Amino acid sequence: MEKQVISKLHKHFEDCAHEKDGVEFWYARELQQLLGYNEWRNFEKAVSKAKSACENAGQVVEDHFVDVNKMVHIGSNGQREIADIMLTRYACYLIAQNGDPRKDEIAFAMTYFAVQTRKQELVEERLAQWERLQAREKLTMSEKCLSGILFERGVDSPGFARIRSKGDSALFGGYSTQGMKDKLGVPDNRPLADFLPGVTIKAKDLASEITTLNVKKNGSLQGENPITDEHVKNNENMRKMLTKSGIYPEALPPEEDIKKLERKLRSEDKKLPKSVKRLKGE
């Protein structure tokens, strides 16, 4: 996510933060808009799911979701009372978890409400970690899909491994999969992608998706050699795009083991309710 987008979203979420008796909270009606929900009834469904998740986690729902009534302006200096909900940081996090993480607002919210500080730089750091984790999961799905298509075209598991390695060689300037693992110090029993930076993971994912698409629509792509040529071409295109921006994939340092990163982020999420103060009803 671009820094400009993060800064904009951070300001919006900060502007909607409230405090009561030293406890920070957000109103559901305002969070609805922050998360891009156009209709209250659709947002209520996400709130309901979040309450169930809160209860399943062994938390007291009423400590995090407090029903209130507010007066709102309706024009001509008139007012009317509407139902609203005061939400703790934990409640907001659970609601965001029920949204579409492909939306910038939802992806940002999941990180913003998960961190124990509202400092933008720490939100940016965790968001980058979360996006790398999501990119890795996406690559796994793309490669499984490609593997299934290639099996239908007469390519077995060893053949798929060779195709993927030659694609890596095209992306990494001549380094095969094993060559990059040796260069980055990746254990032999671990996938290379678990130690790659997010930009390289996304490049591999896009190349795999393009190969899958072209194999599906081109019936003449049968067997290992023609599909290898297709996959190599797509990875070469990814490399050209990256190098034009001064990014050489083989020169990028390894990043934290994705498995360790996943455990760390999940652990932080589990600690969230213990670190959030509870709200008291009106």
Give tens-digit pLDDT for 102-111: 788 998 898 8
Predicted confidence at residue 7, as pLDDT, reads: 86
Query: Which residue in this structure is represented by tokens 């800064």?
Result: 7
CA distance 236 to 233: 5
Q: Long-range contacts for 44-47 (Cβ within 8 Å, ≥24 apart)?
A: 46/95, 46/98, 46/99, 47/85, 47/95
Sign of CA dihedral 105, 254, 204, 242: positive
Query: Would you give the DSSP letter of residue 81?
Result: E
- Can you list the residues of the chain whose pLDDT is less than 70? 71-78, 116-118, 280-282
Predicted confidence at residue 51, as pLDDT, reads: 94
CA distance 34 to 31: 5
String of DSSP letters for 149-189: HHHHTT--HHHHHHHHHHHHHHHTTT--HHHHHHHHT--TT
Cβ neighbours for 18, distance < 8 A, ≥ 6 positions apart: 24, 25, 26, 27, 86
Distance from the first to the final alpha carbon of the chain: 38
Residue 246: alpha-carbon gap to chain centroid: 25
